[in-house]
Structure 1
Amino acid sequence: MVITRALMEGEIDDDGRAKRTGNSLTATTHIITVVIGAGVLALAYAMAQLGWIAGIATMLAFAVISTFTYNLVADCYRFPDPVTGKRNYTYMQAVKAYLGGTMYVFCGLVQYTKLAGITVGYTITSATSLVAIKKAICFHREGQQAYCKFSNNPFMIGFGILQIFLSQIPNFHELTWLSTIAAITSFGYAFIASGLSLSIIVSGKGQPTSITGTSIGPELSAEDKVWRVFSSLGNIALAANYSTVIFDIMDTLKSDPPENKQMKKANVMGVTAMTILFLLCSGFGYAAFGDHTPGNILTGFYEPFWLVALGNTFVVIHMIGAYQVMAQPFYRIVEMGANMVWPESDFINKEYPTKVGNIRMNFNLFRLVWRTIFVILSTMLAMAMPFFNEILSLLGAIGFWPLVVFFPIQMHITQRQIKKRTLKWCMFQLLSFVCFLVTVTAIAGSVHGISQDLHKYKLFRYRQ
């Protein structure tokens, strides 16, 4: 009776949960926070390996495919009807509803492995940017010939300590403020990187480029060129990917107009903004540095040192927010599982209301312990393998085909009851197969790059 009255008064939604208030604009903000992140810094390097024609074509292709398949996902938020059906709160629930238990398990393994891995990537990115700030200041004070190499480890530890505190935020719905700040800073460093690259081009100091990318010669064998191209596909795949949190984003949307319509609009706005920034950063970066384009474009600049420092500061601020946007779904699935296994445990389920200044929040012992352990482990893994491009490429490759292409297509086929071996079915399967090949080649290139790096550097002793 109380629920019925609250539903009539608009206090709760049709599923008995608190009224959702998100819209296309807030969903776009979440999308931008996720996609315009660590991956954008590696795109100039990817463009340098692929060249102008393949580089631009690949980024546009990823954008078109992503928009198409994410719109398919938007129709799967509710089951069986995309407007009036029962809500799927997670990607895994949607896969289970449409495709069954086996696919449900496969989806969970891929999705949450990637979510956990991305926190490692963001830790590496933040430390890389903090070291870049220190190097810019060092070169400004001591001159370009000075020895300015520093360990990433202290910065990773500091970043991890901060994430331990932020990880106590109970759920995704309380992240809008953090996501908004992160989205604003993402535009900041993307435009700074583009602007610094453009200033080099305008000054006439830009390096030679090619329609086929980096030149094969004494510094680069044909074999290494191929491996770099493969790895670059993973970098672009990561930059264009927000599949791991798309259902969490949709679960913030109000139900009128229908969530799928709002999300489709957000997909178009988010991917369009993403693609424009990607092309600016990658194109200007490649034109500025040519064959010697750095893996992280901002690390290639040292002057004006204050602007370089500001750009890298924006990166760190963004990584702080994006880390939580990506980690919260992973936290939630573990805590939901623990609640189902031990429903009577006070350690796992009891909330203790606390107040810090004017801020009220709930304190939970299990959340404190397990999230702290997770952040510590992800930080240690980042310290052990702080290889920016290769780790990001591997993360992008792992999730691209299954989460961005395969599951959306299979759910759509089931939802619309598309018959096998019809033209439409064959076209969907062809798209899925081509994207599978892209994923396999990107994984191979990433693993090869990590293997080479591990032979060059000792664990926990990497300096840049």
Structure 2
Amino acid sequence: MRIQDPATHNNNNDSSKNSSIDEKLARQKAIDDWLPITSSRNAKWWYSAFHNVTAMVGAGVLGLPFAMSELGWGPGVVVLILSWIITLYTLWQMVEMHEMVPGRRFDRYHELGQYAFGEKLGLYIVVPQQLVVEIGVCIVYMVTGGKSLKKFHDLVCPDCKKIKLTFFIMIFASVHFVLSHLPNFNSISGVSLAAAVMSLSYSTIAWAASTAKGVQENVEYGYRATTPAGTVFNFFSALGDVAFAYAGHNVVLEIQATIPSTPEKPSKGPMWRGVVVAYIVVALCYFPVALVGYWMFGNSVSDNILISLEKPVWLIALANMFVVVHVIGSYQIYAMPVFDMMETLLVKKLHFRPTRLLRFIVRNIYVAFTMFVGIIFPFFGGLLAFFGGFAFAPTTYFLPCIMWLAIYKPRRYSLSWWTNWICIVLGFALMIVSPIGGLRTIILQARHYEFFS
């Protein structure tokens, strides 16, 4: 009988332990290299600029003149400017928090939430809200893309047979059945750049064409509702529309995750540069459209400014086509984190093999789902306000502030403490009131609505 030396036995144990740890790390790295958010980290600062523009300047900009008509001149201008300042501040906080733990990066919004609130609670707080925003935006963009295609068709060919909105939504979705198979954020940078250019183009067309049309006869700037209750509900709904226009925070950490980072050159430098450029573009798009559109049409403006503008036909048709291209890019930006969550769940929790087939099936199911919901519920304006308050307000206006207070613990009554609490109170108020207005709008619109129209 051979007696084994205990030292040798321990060494064998240690080496098998080490090799199993190495195997685990290697498997983890292989999965991270496959997942869409962490697979490519060689983005430049300007990628961040146009990803942020594409994420931020959505179809929401076309609803801003309508929101102004429900808010009125004074409150409307204040709400626009305040939203721009608050969301820029909370975006700065998120960029700062991305690498606040040395040697670690919070590549996803929920990872930061887990660090701030704890493993379980962080997930429960962040993931449902983030999913509501991202899936909500994808559905709204399905409707927007379909409506803009329909408007383009009707303008270019007024004598043609009328085609249902349902079919235009399907045509729009067909693009995503192809584009959704681009593996990660960097691979959609070309689509995103095109989308960012388009957003600036159609915003410019919207306010320039409004200016050319001039102030309408008998224009009125009073509130459009005839009853005090109607005015209040419309005001709430308009706040949601404005919140929807600033939704880029839901993908900001995921965008920053694609930028390379070293201790000497952290990713927050190039990311912040990109954010500043994006916010200047946002201001150039939002303020002229909102103010000029309302100034020209008053309270008779449509909930999509391009619908109020009928002439010149070729220009408005072109603007609608620009919206389609832009919304294609935006849809991809918001879908990418959802793909990442679904693929992470399947591969890490349910132990599926990370294959192309898995990705193909998962992403096609998601596109089909957003298309189907978009076809069933195309009441665009009400959906914006409802989602805007319900989930955009927390993730954009006050969750970053709560995380900042939880992690950095600024001194009581210091400037940072006051700033964050003011943002939290305003954001919380927004979260309560705007879904009320949005729900009322949906109920009013649903009366005259036929399913699968």
TM-score, normalised to structure 2, is: 0.86
- Offset of 1:340 from its aligned partner? 1.1
1:225: which partner in 2?
231
Q: Take 2:156 and 2:218, find their aligned partners in 1: how far apart are those partners?
A: 25
Please tell me the residue identity of whatever aligns with 2:256. M
Using the aligned pairs only, state the percent identity: 25
- Structure 1 residue 269 displacement after superposition: 2.3
After superposition, where does 1:195-210 map in structure 2 within 5 Å?
195-201=208-214, 205=216, 208-210=219-221
Q: Who is 2:71 aligned against?
A: 50
Counterpart for residue 359 of structure 1: none
Deviations 1:337-379 (A, max 9, x none): 1001233x44xx23xxxxxxxxxxxxx1122112112211211
* Alpha-carbon separation, structure 2, partners of 1:293 and 1:106: 38
CA deviation string 1:206-245 (max 9, x = no partner): 65243xx4345xxx33222222111111111111220110
| Contact 2:113/2:126 (8 A) holds in 1 | yes
Deviation, structure 1 residue 20: 2.9
2:187 is aligned to 174
Distance 2:445 2:193 in 1: 36
Instruction: Say yes or no: does 1:239 pair with 2:220.
Output: no
Q: Which residue of 2 aligns with 1:99?
A: 117
Give the corresponding residue for 2:204. Answer: 191
| Aligned-residue offset at 1:31 | 0.8
1:444 corresponds in structure 2 to 436
Give SS of 2:311's match: coil
Q: In structure 2, give the amino acid aligned to 1:417.
A: K
Q: Tell me whether 164-173 or 181-190 shows the greater mean CA deviation.
A: 164-173
TM-score, scaled relative to structure 1? 0.84
**Partner of 1:276 in structure 2?**
284
Which residue does 1:390 correspond to in 2?
382
Once the 2 structures are TM-superposed, how far is the Cα of residue 170 of structure 1 from its aligned partner?
A: 1.5
Q: By percentage of residues, which structure has more helix?
A: 2
Asked if 1:108 is matched to 2:127, the reply is yes
* Aligned equivalents of 2:60, 2:207: Cα separation in 1: 15
RMSD: 2.3
* CA–CA separation in structure 2 for the residues paired with 1:433 and 1:391: 24
Cα distance in 2 for residues equivalent to 1:55 and 1:452? 23
The offset of 1:195, in angstroms, is 1.2
Could you say which residue in structure 1 is the equivalent of 2:15? none
Residue of 260, 263, 268 corresponding to 2:271:
263
Do 2:236 and 2:436's aligned partners in 1 also have CA atoms closer than 8 Å? yes
Of residues 121, 126, 130, the one that matches 2:145 is 126
Are residue 77 (structure 1) and residue 98 (structure 2) matched? yes
Q: Which residue of 1 aligns with 2:177?
A: 164
**C-alpha displacement at 1:437, in angstroms?**
0.6
| Post-superposition CA distance 1:253-307 (Å, at most 9, x none) | 2326322233333332222221231111111111221111001111122222111
Picking from 9, 24, 27, the partner of 2:45 is 24
Residue number in structure 1 paired with 2:259: 253
Cα distance change of structure 1 residues 136 and 222 upon mapping to structure 2, 3 Å threshold: farther
Identify which of 407, 424, 439 aligns with 1:432: 424
Question: Within 1, Cα distance between the matches of 2:132 and 2:328?
Answer: 20
Cα offset for 1:198? Answer: 0.6
Which digits, 9 at most, give the CA deviation of each residue in 1:40-78, with x for residues without a partner?
A: 110110111112211111111000001111111111112
Query: In the alignment, is the contact (CA less than 8 A) between 1:227 and 1:445 conserved in 2?
Result: yes
Displacement of 1:427: 4.7
2:67–2:242 contact (8 Å) kept in structure 1 = yes
The answer on 1:153 being equivalent to 2:159 is: no
- Contact 2:48–2:255 (8 Å) recurs in 1: yes
> Rg larger in 1 or in 2?
2
Match of 1:366 in 2: 358
Q: Quick one: which of 289, 306, 322 aligns to 2:297?
A: 289
Of residues 159-168 and 398-407 in structure 1, the stretch that sits farther from structure 2 once superposed is 398-407
Amino acid at match of 1:303: K
Unmatched tracts of structure 2, length 5 or more: 1-28
Instruction: Give the whole-Å Cα distance in 1 for the aligned partners of 2:255 and 2:162.
Output: 40
Q: Who is 2:312 aligned against?
A: 304
- Report if the CA contact (8 A) 2:67-2:241 is conserved: yes
Taking a change above 3 Å as real, the CA distance of residues 30 and 235 of structure 1, as seen in their structure-2 partners, is: same
Q: Secondary structure at the match of 1:78?
A: coil
Mapped to 2, the partners of 1:406 and 1:288 lie a distance apart of 34
Q: Distance in 2 between matches of 1:207 and 1:400?
A: 36
Q: Measured at CA, do residues 94 and 292 of structure 1 come closer, stay the same or move farther in structure 2, by a change above 3 Å?
A: same
Between the aligned partners of 1:301 and 1:385, the Cα distance in structure 2 is 25
Q: Which amino acid aligns with 2:447?
A: H
